[in-house]
Structure 1
Amino acid sequence: MKYRKLGKTGLQVSEISLGTWQVGGRWGDDFSNRNADEILNKAVDEGVNFIDTADVYGDGLSEKAVGRLIKTRKEQIYVASKCGRKLDPHTADAYTPAALRTFVEDSLRNMGLETIDLIQLHCPPTDVFYKPEIFELFDRLKDEGKIRFMGVSIEKVEEGLKAMQYSNVCTIQLIYNIFRQRPNELLFAQAKRNNIGLIARVPLASGLLTGKFDHQSSFTKDDHRNFNRNGEQFDKGETFSGVDYDKGLAAVEQLKQLFPNVNLPSLALRWILASDEISCVIPGASNVTQLQNNITAANDGELNAIQIEKIKHIYEQFIKAEVHQRW
């Protein structure tokens, strides 16, 4: 496992880390403590030292699983969680320092921790980025020893650019993959200038970039790839990266033709890690096999300039017009 600096936190984190959305649900599987524990422990066995969770994943069950991991391992493991999505309705007006403090303290209890290494606003409405009192709260939480660092998880590039104006924002978590290339323009340059750690989520476009789906593929009713394709429950961009399913399949077929002997998930992860501005990528895993495949991808070697140019061409041909300016 290779490690990279997480922006101005100074933490050295595994470039392939672990996101626990799948562990907590919304992917069609019931939560299983045993499965969660197996995935988390195997990740640490393989050198993963950065775990990303959220209070809404499994309504706290994911955080509790992370807490069990921390208690039973001696390795240095950095825990990132997120807050804000429990607000109902999820509006900018609902974001108050008091509400967010409660969520952070609930997360501490869920995980049995005294301090969360990184707490992130969980894709708040854009107007929240114009509420300085929200960001000031996290300075107080840091002074109280409840968090070490704060960051934001965003949907739109513009939100990331605004977040960097707050001095206590250390990280930005964003959707970045072969189907969502816009961030590597202005956002990456500004992040580098401001020493912001970038955490790439949804690296496989909700599984589209695994190359395993076709027009006959189906998803259970509780899987967001079934019920959120048009943004019915949360931002459309979180499901298949906002790409029309049929167009995504066409782009994947082109990838298969241009890279006939290459493992597509490995290609997708290596493409992300080709950007030095990325601190880590956080693919999820529903089982240990998926986890292992993700981790070994980084050992398949770096992409060359010709490969990167081919991927850019596919994006421009199939995807760019639909998603580039939206997020």
Structure 2
Amino acid sequence: MDERPLGTTGFDVSEIGLGTWQLGSDWGPVTDEEAADAIETALDAGITFLDTADVYGDGDSERRIGAVLDDRDDDVVVATKAGRRLDPHEADGYNRDNLERFVDRSRENLGVESLDLVQLHCPPRDAYYRPDVFEALADLRETGKIDHYGVSVEKVEDALKAIEYDGVETVQIIFNPLRQRPAELFFREAQRRNVGVIVRVPLASGLLTGALSADAEFSEDDHRNYNRDGDAFDVGETFAGIPFEDGLAAAESLETVVPDGVSLAQFTLRWILSFDAVSTIIPGSKTPAHIRDNVEAASLPPLSADQFAHVEDVYDTYAREHVHHRW
């Protein structure tokens, strides 16, 4: 699998990575063995970028990654996130002491001396306007506890503000055929500043796999059940913020231009990779077959102009009014 540079970090990472939210929590139950199988499948398939967070399963995702890597000799970049352990989750909590405490816990969970990449975990808007937050990250880098830092954001505006800070080397953001706004100003600015872009929620919580239907049922501990209205966290993290029925209709329309022998998920990932600003994509799965299929998307031929136009039409028809000015 081809690799792309991750901003100014010096890391070259696989075009398809692995998101591991589902290996910790909020996607139904998963055992240690299932998690290990998923991680090992990803590594064996050529994935060199793993994304996690300290709150995924209260650290289970980090610990499971650490356990697998401890038994292997892979050249892999592990990115984690910090900040969502705050209660209440307020900008005041993004201070030096708390960030160091979170970083130390993640270092222990992953079993490393220094974290490859730490991302602020979708902090409140006010945090982006506090230079001391980013000074704290720079200080943690100087102490050798982290190698690089960036942000994971909900909104394009937050991403644009974050990359004004020189030390921010990466931005993680939602981008897919149903969430296209980042491809406007933000992607251009990220490229101009040589900021790495990590794309999350690429398959819109399963909508863009073509595997969901109107009668789909999700377990009680699956966010696609309990967060459809944003009751637990930002609703844009669930089905990319698209009403479920509209998302199903959008997926059905996209299927009409997917080539034979290619899945909708692969088509979607290949569409995302068409944007040069993107460094890596982190679809999440705990199914080895799905992980291997996702990796194969990187080797597909480019989309045609007609396919691109259809994706744009689908966005305008089913998604734009719900998401474009919201995120």
Q: Name the CA distance, whole Å, in 1 between partners of 2:241 and 2:16.
A: 23
* 1:12 is aligned to 2:12: yes
2:153 corresponds to: 154
2:175 alignment counterpart: 176
Equivalent runs, 1:196-275 vs 2, <5 Å:
196-259=195-258, 261=260, 262-275=262-275
Worse-superposed segment, 13-22 or 287-296: 287-296
SS in 2 for 1:74: coil
Shift of 1:296: 1.3
Matches within 5 A, 1:118-137: 118-137=117-136
Post-superposition Cα deviations, 1:132-170, rounded to whole Å, max 9, x if no partner, equal 111001111111111110000000000000001111000
Q: Does 1:90 align with 2:97?
A: no
Structure-1 residue corresponding to 2:55: 56
**Aligned partner of 1:282: which letter?**
I
Structure 1 counterpart of 2:134, one-letter code: F
Look up the SS of the partner of 1:82 in the other structure: strand
1:284 corresponds to which residue?
284
For the residues of structure 2 that align with 1:180 and 1:119, how far apart are their CA atoms?
Answer: 24
1:110-146 deviations in Å (ceiling 9; x for gaps): 1110011100000111111011111001111111111
- In structure 2, the residue corresponding to 1:278 is in which secondary structure? coil
Q: Using the alignment, how far apart are the partners of 2:194 and 2:140 within structure 1? A: 22
Within a 5 Å distance, the mapping from 1:301-320 to structure 2 comes to 301-320=301-320
1:59: Cα distance to partner?
Answer: 0.7
Cα deviation 1:228-279 (Å, max 9, x = unaligned): 0111011000000000001111111111233363410011100100001000
Measured after TM superposition, the shift of residue 214 of structure 1 is 1.4
CA distance in 2, matches of 1:251, 1:171: 30
Amino acid at match of 2:40: N
Structure 2 counterpart of 1:22: 22
CA-based RMSD of the aligned residues comes to 1.1
Secondary structure of 1:295's aligned partner: helix
The alignment-based identity, stated in percent, is 48
Secondary structure of the structure 2 residue equivalent to 1:170: strand
Alpha-carbon distance in structure 2 between the residues aligned to 1:173 and 1:203: 11
SS at match of 1:8: coil
Cα distance in 2, alignment partners of residues 163 and 88 from structure 1? 23
Letter in 2 for 1:308: F
Which segment is superposed worse, 180-189 or 59-68? 59-68
2:25, 2:300 → 1: CA distance?
A: 30
Distance 1:305 1:150 in 2: 37
Per-residue CA distance 1:183-209 (angstroms, 9 max, x = gap) = 000000000011000000000000000
Whole-Å separation in 1 of the counterparts to 2:257 and 2:36: 38
Q: What residue number does 2:321 align with?
A: 321
- TM-score, with structure 1 as normaliser: 0.97
C-alpha distance in structure 2 between counterparts of 1:286 and 1:175, whole Å: 20
Partner Cα separation in structure 2 for residue 258 and residue 306 of structure 1: 9
Structure 2 letter corresponding to 1:116? L
- The alpha-carbon deviation at position 308 of structure 1 amounts to 0.9
**CA-CA distance at 1:75 after TM superposition:** 2.0
SS in 2 for 1:116: coil
Q: CA deviation at 1:48?
A: 0.8
Q: Which residue is equivalent to 2:99? A: 100
- SS of 2:8's equivalent in the other structure is helix
Instruction: Tell me the TM-score normalized by structure 2.
Output: 0.97
What is the rounded CA distance, in whole Å, between the counterparts of 1:277 and 1:204 in structure 2? 18
Matched residue type, 1:140: D
Question: Given that residues 181 and 324 in structure 2 are in contact (C-alpha distance below 8 angstroms), is that contact kept between their aligned partners in structure 1?
Answer: yes
Contact kept, 8 Å, 2:95 with 2:136, in 1: the verdict is no
